[in-house]
Amino acid sequence: MNSQLRIHILTLFPAMFDSPFKHGVIARAIAKGLIELHMLDIRNFSSDPHQRVDSMRFGGGPGMVLRPEPIAAAIESTGNDRHVIYLTPQGTPFTQHHSERLSALNNLTLLCGRYEGIDERIRSLYVDEELSIGDYVLTGGEIPAMVLVDSIARLVPGVVGKEESVKADSHSSGLLEHPHYTRPRQFKGLSVPEVLLSGNHANVKLWERRESLRRTLVTRPEMLQDLALSQDELDWLLEAEPKAARVLQKKSK
Ligand code: ADE
C-alpha cells in the first residue's frame, strides 16, 4: 500500500530523530504504513572531499552559512510532487490551520537550518513556505520539524482512532478544550463537577461548551474576537468571569 503522506526531513543531524517517532500514535501510523518518514543527511549530498556543507558568508560577518549545492541536491532527491518547508524563526507562525492544510498533501520536504542560515538562493529556488514554531530562537530547525511532523501526522485520516477526538481538539474548534476528569471522584479534597456524573447529556454538553469558553477567555482572549457568541453565552461569561469578560462587552457595543 502507498502511504498517504511521505515526509522527508533534510538535516545535518539525522540521529536527533532516532527516538521521537518511535512511540505512541506516530510510531503506530508508521507501522501501519499511513505515513512514511525519511531522514536525509544533507552531508551525504556534498561533493566536497571533506563533506563540508557550510562556508563563510560573502560580505563578511560572523557565523557560517549552509552552501546551496548539497541542499539543492537533497531537495531534488525528494520527488517532483514535493512541497518544501523551511523551518526558520523568520517564518510565518505555525498554527493548526497550517497543520490541517499540510496533512492533506502527499509529499512534504522539511528543511532544517543550522548555523546562521541557508544561502538565500535555496529560498528563492526551492522553498514553498517558511514556518516558525514561535517567537524564540532555537539552535536549529530539527525540533521545529519534529513539532510539525507530530502535529501534521495525527491529522492524516486513520492515524488518530476517533475522528471525533481530532475535531474537538483545542484550536481545531477555535476554542481551547474544556477540563477533563476521570476516577477517583474525590482527589485531595477536590471533587468532579456534579453535572459530569449526572448522566444528563444535554447538561454535560452545555457545561463543556461554557468551560471551553471560560478557559479561552481567561488564557487566550484574542481567540474569542472573531467568534459569534450567543447572548446566553455572553451573559454566562460576564457572570462567571466578570473581569476578563469586560473585553467582550466592549466588543459587543
Ligand atoms: N529554527 C530556529 N528557531 C526556530 C523557530 N523558532 N522556528 C522554526 N525554526 C527555527
CA distance 11 to 108: 14
| pLDDT mean over 38-59 | 96
Which of 6, 82, 114, 154 is catalytic? The answer is 154
Are 215 and 151 contained in the same domain? no
Q: Is the model's pLDDT at 171 over the cut of 90?
A: no
Residue 217 burial by Cβ neighbours in a 10 Å radius (0-12, 13-18, 19+): buried
CA distance 216 to 226: 13
136-146 pLDDT, tens digit each: 999 999 999 99
Phi, then psi, of 251 in degrees rounded to 5: -65, -40
164 pLDDT band, cuts 50/70/90, is low
116 is catalytic: yes
Are 157 and 197 contained in the same domain? no
184 is catalytic: no
Peptide bond into 184 cis (omega under 30): yes
| pTM, two decimal places | 0.93
For ligand 1, atom 4: residue with the closest CA: 89
Domain that holds residue 247: 189-252
Asked if residue 117 has its Cβ within 6 Å of ligand 1, the reply is no
| pLDDT mean over 157-183 | 87
Residue 109 lies in a domain: yes
169 is catalytic: yes
The tally of domains found in the chain comes to: 2
Ligand 1 pocket test: which of 137, 146, 148 has the largest number of ligand atoms within 8 Å of its C-beta? 137
Asked if residue 135 has its Cβ within 6 Å of ligand 1, the reply is no
| pLDDT mean over 118-137 | 98
| pLDDT mean over 76-103 | 98
144 is catalytic: no
**Portion of the chain with pLDDT greater than 70, in percent:** 97
Q: What's the 9 CA to ligand 1 centre distance in angstroms? A: 15
Are 149 and 220 contained in the same domain? no
Residue 183 lies in a domain: no
Are 158 and 205 contained in the same domain? no
User: Out of 71-80, 199-208, 225-234, which region has the weakest mean confidence (pLDDT)?
Assistant: 225-234
Cell of 198: 449526572
Residue 173 lies in a domain: no
pLDDT at 42: 98
pLDDT at 253: 54
Asked if residue 88 has its Cβ within 6 Å of ligand 1, the reply is yes
Cell of 67: 552552501
Are 162 and 210 contained in the same domain? no
Q: What's the 208 CA to ligand 1 centre distance in angstroms? A: 35
One-letter identity of residue 136: Y
pLDDT at 166: 83
Asked if residue 87 has its Cβ within 6 Å of ligand 1, the reply is yes
Residues 6 or more apart whose CB falls under 8 angstroms from that of 249 comprise 234, 238
| pLDDT mean over 13-40 | 97
Are 21 and 96 contained in the same domain? yes
CATH of the domain at 19: 3.40.1280.10
Closest CA to 42 of 9, 11, 76, 6: 11
For ligand 1, atom 10: residue with the closest CA: 88
Asked if residue 136 has its Cβ within 6 Å of ligand 1, the reply is yes
Q: What is the 3-state secondary structure (H, E, C) of the chain?
A: CCCCEEEEEEECCHHHHCCCCCCHHHHHHHHCCCEEEEEEEHHHHCCCCCCCCEEECCCCCCCEEECHHHHHHHHHCCCCCCEEEEEEEEEEECCHHHHHHHCCCCEEEEEECCCCCECHHHHHHHCCEEEECCCCCCCCCHHHHHHHHHHHHCCCCCCCCCHHHHHCCCCCCCCCCCCCCCCCCEECCEECCHHHHCCCHHHHHHHHHHHHHHHHHHHCHHHHCCCCCCHHHHHHHHHHCHHHHHHHHHHHC
Are 108 and 208 contained in the same domain? no
Q: What's the 19 CA to ligand 1 centre distance in angstroms? A: 20
